Structure 1
């Protein structure tokens, strides 16, 4: 071969080698970056090529993909129930997903390894692969009752209802909320505009307050403090006596801890049941200081507070009683103030733990997953998270919480013919905002089917009776929905 031909051959070989090197680099190294690049329009079109599975709750369809009749975008995502379930379903947008749509995305779009056999069958039969269907634990009647009641309050807030024996989440509402339909159109510009409007809204409708925000739990945390006290001495019970001064001196500070409005708590020495019924601050502050930070933190951890991050399957913000400071701070934390921060889901777990004889179940939202032909892919298997207290302690605490509803601050939660257990709360806030109103409850007390926790932001007049007046009726409507009352 003459020299010119050799040079041409070498140049061709070099270019071919560089081409192969580039191909391998793109496929092996840059593939994921290119696939996720927002400028890759193929991803945009592909997202609407697959019929995603449905998201359901009972017999109610919460999300589904419907044919458009358009050759460019074969399917569009639709949310028939809109705002009511948006904090749970989330949305499926041109470039992102949220909540269940994100957490179960690979199942919903059919790409999960768990659907490999189904995809293989579809391939050989020439059938287009469809996504799996995700059925939730949500009770539609409870969800809709919670949404209606919270929305009508005119306040921001959140509610979670749990089945105590399993941990199944029966309702999860956050208000204000949003309509996921405008965020799921095959229109990038339109979706981005709709999303930006929601993201810039100072009321934060995209925020799921039930699991993504923590609040001071106020007097609802006295359930945890009482559990710690009862567990410290098995001779204690509802009729055991405790000092309840009008104001509690806090060590190493000029401040003290008063009862609400500087009011007396009985005659200054009351039963434990009375202290919980009337939500006196001073005995609970004293209990916290006497037990010490380590004991309080340990008891909180037994309810799941400050432990491993929960996923339901969406991640849940961590709750905490705060770091150890001094005795004065501990007294305040023991009544649900200071740096004590809880999600509504966490407080629902506290109520459910008492209801379930001291056992806290791991909360979950997905009941089952089935492929497009109905074949089982996943089925929920209830799992114990922890034992928060002995069965004996739970029985004592349950009795006291029933008295809170029958004799104390939560009479608005009463359901005729049903024994309801509960605890009201008010939580001080920063600035000049009104305190938050809280309520935790479960029913029927003798065989609990539902535990509820809710917060109404700035919904309190400043005392625990406000939790009973504002929040308790909302919880009652949800319990009635679950119980079919």
Structure 2
């Protein structure tokens, strides 16, 4: 019986250790430390001398002390092994961030003795590579107007950001197998990091950047089937070369980089912000796509359901004025027409019929209030910023037509559009397409994945018809492209006393190729006049190759 108890104690301790490693991320986590205490107790049970075992009275204290020390040594060993084998990368990342005031010089010196991998666009255009100055100091070089997508690498001052940080192990070569790294050291070979290849098409990226120009805003273009990011446009941008400071850089270079970062931080336009994924904007009428999805999915409306809109709607103390009716003498519109003409009064009524719960459920179903799985951190889109906002009828009505307290990222709205053309499913979007060795060999390639189901196939088909009708007959008519199926929705989002944000979301399909786009121009004014032309140009170039 004693032997069975000992074996059970050992097995239980192993299971607890494995479970603890899986559910905790840090060896200092109180849960993990608590589990170690339990493990120590189980080891004590397993190792404690069995009853009846004869020990001299003078020896017993030494045996018990030895047992305690052995258990303690075992627990310390587990902590050391976890730190070396499992927490190594996270410890390095935390200890090697110069911006935090702490630098692991051994790691960075080792990296500077090797050549960091390149970052390339989909056609092989290099946007980040290593260079060497006259003193033999290796530094990072960024090339082209889209190099900001790479982030920056500044081991002598700021650490790393963007792709440079997210794929640091691959770029630095630290993800190389231990055997290869050991062999490089024995043979005194220069360690070369792997190349990171993005999905961004430089032709489409340049088009989006040119059309957005100096205006603040963003555009994201996705392959609807794979989730690949074809264009990732943000404006204003920054020059990562001016933040790249290698170890051993002259003092004047360090001060120049500090002054540049200070200038960027003081720039009220936020040039360091990657707007496609980190910019949060009031969506305006493009959110009517979510409201329509909720109405269609729940069965409270069909595209042919008729609503009254005589120019105004009183909701509690709030009066919603209709400014978008195509004919002021008309007072009845179908849901399809209300979507194409962007009628706020109709969608306020739809929202009130839905109620807060169903509207919120649909917003969450399409990804609001959670992080989108992506190669870089994405700000979660928000339904409301105060808990009680949707408890009022006015709050529900405003949210339903795209105002209220809504905040969205362009990537979120591009994925919503992708769900419309994918029978209700959303792809997992990605920016990094593959990892290649220094000699060009393929190490890893992205496999497209489905992220989630947003709504049913029937709802997706009905939404697709609404978006196509909006382009064929509604206010999004300028988005039409000859020979291409196009659907879209414009938005003009009110933002206090300043000019509204201009929005456009849309899709294009031709010969089996399906792409989706989301464009926002901050304080740009009319979505039809400002954002739509950018979105249309990107869609046309993507499906026609022009």
Q: TM (normalized to structure 1)? A: 0.85
Q: Whole-Å Cα distance in 1 between the matches of residues 473 and 177 of structure 2?
A: 55
1:166 aligns to what?
226
Alignment root-mean-square deviation, CA? 2.5
Q: Whole-Å Cα distance in 2 between the matches of residues 294 and 331 of structure 1?
A: 13
Q: Deviations over 1:69-126 (max 9, x none)?
A: 423x1x2211111x3241x2111113311110111112111113x5434424434544
Q: Whole-Å Cα distance in 2 between the matches of residues 458 and 425 of structure 1?
A: 12
2:537 aligns to what?
477
The secondary structure found in structure 2 opposite 1:64 is strand
2:338 aligns to what?
275
- Among 192, 196, 210, the alignment partner of 2:262 is 196
For residues 215 and 301 of structure 1, do their structure 2 counterparts lie closer, same or farther at Cα, with a shift above 3 Å needed?
A: same
1:456-467 → structure 2 map (5 Å cutoff): 456-460=521-525, 466-467=526-527
* Preserved contact between residue 421 and residue 443 of structure 1 (Cα < 8 Å): yes
Q: Whole-Å Cα distance in 1 between the matches of residues 329 and 172 of structure 2?
A: 61
Q: Whole-Å Cα distance in 1 between the matches of residues 153 and 523 of structure 2?
A: 32
The secondary structure found in structure 1 opposite 2:350 is helix
Q: Which has the larger radius of gyration?
A: 2
Shift of 1:260: 2.0
2:141 aligns to what?
78
* Preserved contact between residue 164 and residue 171 of structure 2 (Cα < 8 Å): yes
Q: Whole-Å Cα distance in 2 between the matches of residues 448 and 378 of structure 1?
A: 25
State yes or no: 1:319 paired with 2:351.
no
1:4-15 → structure 2 map (5 Å cutoff): none
For residues 129 and 43 of structure 1, do their structure 2 counterparts lie closer, same or farther at Cα, with a shift above 3 Å needed?
A: closer
Structure number with greater CO (CA < 8 Å, separation at least 6) is 1
State yes or no: 1:155 paired with 2:215.
yes
1:453 aligns to what?
518
Q: Whole-Å Cα distance in 2 between the matches of residues 89 and 218 of structure 1?
A: 31
Q: Deviations over 1:380-413 (max 9, x none)?
A: 1222111112222211211111121121111222
1:297 aligns to what?
360
For residues 196 and 43 of structure 1, do their structure 2 counterparts lie closer, same or farther at Cα, with a shift above 3 Å needed?
A: farther
Q: TM (normalized to structure 2)? A: 0.76
1:427 aligns to what?
493
State yes or no: 1:400 paired with 2:462.
no
The secondary structure found in structure 2 opposite 1:441 is strand
For residues 272 and 266 of structure 1, do their structure 2 counterparts lie closer, same or farther at Cα, with a shift above 3 Å needed?
A: farther
* Preserved contact between residue 159 and residue 174 of structure 1 (Cα < 8 Å): yes
Structure 2: which 5+ runs fail to align? 1-79, 85-90, 247-252
For residues 315 and 67 of structure 1, do their structure 2 counterparts lie closer, same or farther at Cα, with a shift above 3 Å needed?
A: same
2:125 aligns to what?
60
1:217 aligns to what?
283
Q: Whole-Å Cα distance in 2 between the matches of residues 109 and 157 of structure 1?
A: 32
1:21 aligns to what?
none
- Among 125, 128, 151, the alignment partner of 1:90 is 151
Q: Whole-Å Cα distance in 1 between the matches of residues 430 and 338 of structure 2?
A: 34
2:435 aligns to what?
369
1:181 aligns to what?
241
* Higher alpha-carbon deviation: 420-429 or 323-332: 323-332
Q: Deviations over 1:131-181 (max 9, x none)?
A: 111111111111111100001xx4211111111112111111111111111
* Preserved contact between residue 57 and residue 138 of structure 1 (Cα < 8 Å): yes
Q: Deviations over 1:39-84 (max 9, x none)?
A: 776666555332111111122111111233423x1x2211111x32
* Preserved contact between residue 309 and residue 333 of structure 2 (Cα < 8 Å): yes
1:96-107 → structure 2 map (5 Å cutoff): 96-107=159-170
